[in-house]
Structures are given as structure tokens and as C-alpha cells.
Structure 1
Amino acid sequence: MNNKIKVTVWNEFVHERTMEEVKNVYPQGIHTVIASHLNKVGMEAVTATLDQPEHGLTEQTLDNTDVLIWWGHMHHHEVDDEIVEKVRRKVLAGMGLIVLHSGHNSKIFKKLLGSDCRLKWRESGDMERLWVVKPGHPIAEGIGDYIELEHEEMYGEIFDIPDPDELVFVSWFSSGEVFRSGCTFTRGKGKIFYFRPGHETYPTFYNEKVLRVIQNGVKWAKPLDISPIVFGHAGAVGQGGTYNL
């Protein structure tokens, strides 16, 4: 029996093919770097990209996915609304979702959170220090007090999201801004983790601690064995009532 956590890493995979400065950092794509690490630590990771049929997110792929990881940037508008709705239903049914960096502006993240998810940003190569503010959380396991990235794109508050269920990381940038960088949410039976770092021109996804956070996030977000959620008319408790959805 295969008990490995099944992960699909989704990426636009546009910048790596059209921008030399990005291709030099991630020649095979950000998604392959993340998936390779997850496979090395005993998970079963595959990849999907924007240009594939159904953006690589077919019904069969999603049925075989415990946790979906999402990286997007400039092409959010090209993601088909029907695919977004299909992913949303899967999350509500229990599939985990990890949204990375500029995925904050993706259709799926905004639809699940019900807000614009806007923020302040600046590409100036600031140093970023991600402080662990919930050290007992499983996503922070093995990280220590903080993660330090020599150069990253700055994201600053206000971050237009609902209050997170839990705040695991807070970033401080060398230019002075702060940002809620590790946020968890629950929607239906599904767990969602937003993790801020990961600008495409920096080697962030080669950082061992960043990869460890993603790895921890997958373990945290995997589906739990929870009874089906039912809605609609219900008979009295203990009297054998039926549910009509």
C-alpha cells in the first residue's frame, strides 16, 4: 500500500522560458526544484503547468492529489475559471493548498479567501528575515528562530486578507517593512497555507529552510480522515434522519 503524500506542484512556467535572468536561476522551472525536494524526502510529487491541457489540473490529477502547491505571477488571468472552481471544490472537500509568493494574487487564493489579497511590493533586493512567531506549530518544525534570505522582493503591509487562523511567520525587511509571511486558513475540510518568499529572480527555492517549510506545510495540509460534511434538510438527531443536499 502506498502511504506517501501525493503532491502536485503547479507553476505558470512562463518566466523561466522567456526571461534569461529567471532561466539562469531555474532552468527547469521553479516547480521542478520544489517537486524534486519533496520526492527526495519521501513524498510523491508531480508537476503541472499553465500551458498544459486544463493547466495540468485534470480531474484525474486532482483526484490523485493530497496537497496542491501553487506558484503564479503575471498570468493569473489566463487560468480558466472552470479549473479554478474545480480546484476550489477539491479544497473544500479536503485537498490541501499551499500558495507561494505572488500566488497571493491568483484566482484560487482570492476566491477561497473572499478578498482582493492586495499588498505593497518593491523589487529592490532587500534582505528578508522571516521570524518564527509560532514556534510550536508543525510548519515551523526544524526552522529555528528565523530564516534569513540575502535578497528578496519586498512585500509590505497592509496585506488585504482575512485574519489568518494562525500566523506562523512574520517578515522583516532591511528597508524596514514588515509582512505576515506565513498564514494558515481553513475552508471546508481543506487546509490552506500561504508562504511569502519565492521571487523568480532569486534562488529562494534552493534554500534548505524554505524547502523545509514547504515540506512541513505539505504534511500539515494533507487531508484528514473526517466524516463528510452534509448540508440541507436533516432529520432529528438519533432518529435516523436523512440529509438532502
Structure 2
Amino acid sequence: MPIRTLIWGENVHEQKNKIVAKNYPLGMHNHIAKLLESDSNIVTKTTTLQEPEHGCTVEALANTDVLVWWGHAAHGQVEDEIVERIAKRVWEGMGLIVLHSGHFSKIFKRLMGSPCALHWREAGERERLWVTAPGHPIAKGLPAYFELEMEEMYGEPFSVPEPLETVFVSWFQGGEVFRSGLTYRRGAGNIFYFRPGHETYPTYHDSTVGLVLRNAVNWAYNPDQHPEIHDAPNTPVEKSIEPLVERGPKLHHDGEEGFK
């Protein structure tokens, strides 16, 4: 079965900035979809902030194996109810790939439980990405390093939880370094943060970046879904594994302390 991948794009810069519109005349989300579709194992759909429920309806997410998220200018416009809906699906096993400025998105901060802050500079400088985990599936087919001639600088410290794996580390022309490819797991859901992708530079036209994204979708996919992860069933005494005699005070459902 192909991996059903939903690409979510904020679709704000493309409407307001001529440089972004020239780089991505069909929108960044549609361009990223084309990068992914060159892998026959991936089928894509796209949606944007402006769609009803931001395109992340219950039905849409139920039919999504991996969600790819690019946002920047309008993080605050994403409704909290939708954020919780996405987080629930990640815990159940939906993969999530967060790109570039998505580090400040509500969904990434929700799942990381941290500020996700960093240093930055927009100067069109060279970025060299070193593969620090050459055996990782996301790094499959990559050289020891690759370069992007023009990118926005992100610098450490990056206030995120310690990742499971650091797949890439970036060096920038101005001297800073940054952990640019981080993996996490929340419940049954695999999460990958990938740093490059500033909207005024042609990052998503780079063939190596495309390879990373395709590798990441294949890695993030988890065919084993766990909707029961949200359940919190009571296990009564009579169904305990070992024989058990109930004792001690407890609260009844009406909140009154006592014994049953």
C-alpha cells in the first residue's frame, strides 16, 4: 500500500511576497508534493491554512499516514482544536515531518513540550549539512555532506528535548552550527524535524533536499496504528491478574470518600 501523505502549507508568503511566488508559483505545498511524488511508494494530497478546519478534518487525518507541515507567518492562526486533533493522530501512529520555521508551530511545540526557540539570521549564506548518522534510513543515498548555497541561518541553542537521533548537523557561513535533522517518537508516531526551507530561497528545488524528504516520509510511516492509546479503562478487582482483596479508603464517583 502506498504511503498516504498530506502536505500542509501555510500559503501566506506565496500570496504576499513576489520572490516566494516566483520560487513556488504553484505554492510551496504543491511543490513539496511534486518532490515526494517521484517516489512511487508515496501518494500525496495538499491542504492549506485557509481551508475549512485547515484541511485537517477528522476524516482527512484518518486517511493520512504521514503529515508534512510547513508554517511560518501565521502559527497563531492555527486553531487549538485542530492542533489537539493532529497530536492525537500522531500518538496513534501518524507520522509527522516538520519543516524549517515549523519549529515554532503549535503542533511541534505541543508535541515537544518545550519553547523550540533558536538563534536566526537571514543573510543568504551557505549552509553545509553534515550527515551525522550515515546508517539512518533518512540519510539513505546521501553523501557525507551536502550544501545549500543560500539559506537562512538557524543557530544553537535549540530548546527542544534531546532527540532519539541527530541525523544532520549544519554549519553556516557565518560560523554557527545547528542540529538540523532530529527524530522523535510520541506514542506510536514517528516525528522528524528538518531545518532547511526558507521561503525566499529555492531550497525545495534542490535534488538532495527532495531525497531527504522522500526518505523521511518512508521512515515516518508506521503501518501499526494504535487508536486505543488514548483509552484509560478501569480494571475492576474481580478482573485482576492475581487474586486481590480490596482495602483502604477511596473516592466514590460522586467524590465522597468511603468504602464500597
Q: TM-score range by the shorter chain?
A: over 0.9
Give the TM-score, by structure 1 length: 0.93
Give the TM-score, by structure 2 length: 0.88
| Alpha-carbon distance between aligned partners in 2 of 1:48 and 1:216, rounded to the nearest angstrom | 21
| Alpha-carbon distance between aligned partners in 2 of 1:77 and 1:157, rounded to the nearest angstrom | 24
Gaps in structure 1 of 5+ consecutive residues: 240-245
| Alpha-carbon distance between aligned partners in 2 of 1:226 and 1:87, rounded to the nearest angstrom | 14
| Alpha-carbon distance between aligned partners in 1 of 2:38 and 2:124, rounded to the nearest angstrom | 30
Instruction: Show the counterpart of 2:13.
Output: 15
Deviation at 1:225, TM superposition (A): 2.0
Counterpart residue identity of residue 36, structure 1: K
| Alpha-carbon distance between aligned partners in 2 of 1:11 and 1:216, rounded to the nearest angstrom | 20
Which digits, 9 at most, give the CA deviation of each residue in 1:167-216, with x for residues without a partner?
00000001100000000000011010000000000110011110111111
**Contact 2:127–2:172 (CA under 8 A) maintained in structure 1:** yes
Deviation at 1:224, TM superposition (A): 3.5
- 2:116 alignment partner, SS class: coil
| Alpha-carbon distance between aligned partners in 1 of 2:14 and 2:233, rounded to the nearest angstrom | 47
The partner residue of 1:40 within 38, 60, 76 is: 38
Instruction: Show the counterpart of 1:114.
Output: 113
- 1:160 alignment partner, SS class: coil
| Alpha-carbon distance between aligned partners in 2 of 1:224 and 1:63, rounded to the nearest angstrom | 13
- Of 33-42 and 54-63, the range deviating more from structure 2: 33-42
Instruction: Show the counterpart of 1:214.
Output: 213
Deviation at 1:147, TM superposition (A): 1.8
- 1:199 alignment partner, SS class: coil
Instruction: Show the counterpart of 1:156.
Output: 155
Q: Which runs of 4+ in 1 moved over 3 A?
A: 226-239
Distance 1:238 1:142, change over 3 A: farther
Q: How does 1:168-207 map to 2 (within 5 A)?
A: 168-207=167-206
Instruction: Show the counterpart of 1:26.
Output: 24
Which digits, 9 at most, give the CA deviation of each residue in 1:82-135, with x for residues without a partner?
000100000000000000000000000000000010000000011000100000
Number of residue-to-residue matches in the alignment: 237
- 1:193 alignment partner, SS class: strand
| Alpha-carbon distance between aligned partners in 1 of 2:18 and 2:225, rounded to the nearest angstrom | 46
Gaps in structure 2 of 5+ consecutive residues: 244-260
CA RMSD of aligned residues (A): 1.5
Matching of residue 143 in structure 1 with residue 125 in structure 2: no
